Amino acid sequence: MCIFHLDDEYKIVCDWKKPRSGFKHTAVLHRNGFIVGETKVCYLNRTWERFEYQSVLEKIVGLQFDGEEEQKYRDILKTFH
């Protein structure tokens, strides 16, 4: 499990799971301690991300935020690698 703090209000908790084939990364978005969104990315083989959980982090930010707020958090994600 990995926790990514976006700011004082938001954090994303990421984990991986082993289904029958391949593996998957999950992300749960928390706002002030409450879950406000969840998503997953499934893989059949090795992923070529720049850093672990990159794809699922980008996916949840894209799903949960719009406009300037989305860009703000995408810029924060770039600092994690």
**Read out DSSP for 40-71?**
EEEESS----SSTTHHHHHHHHHHH--HHHHH
Supply angle C-alpha 48, 37, 60, rounded to 5: 25
* Count of C-beta atoms within a 10 Å radius of residue 54: 19
What pLDDT is attached to residue 13? 98
Contact, 14 vs 1, CB < 8 A?
Answer: yes
What pLDDT is attached to residue 49? 81
What pLDDT is attached to residue 33? 95
- Give the pLDDT of the chain (81 residues) as one tens digit per residue: 999 999 999 999 999 998 888 899 999 999 999 999 999 999 887 767 888 999 999 999 999 999 999 999 999 999 987
Entry pTM: 0.90
What pLDDT is attached to residue 44? 85
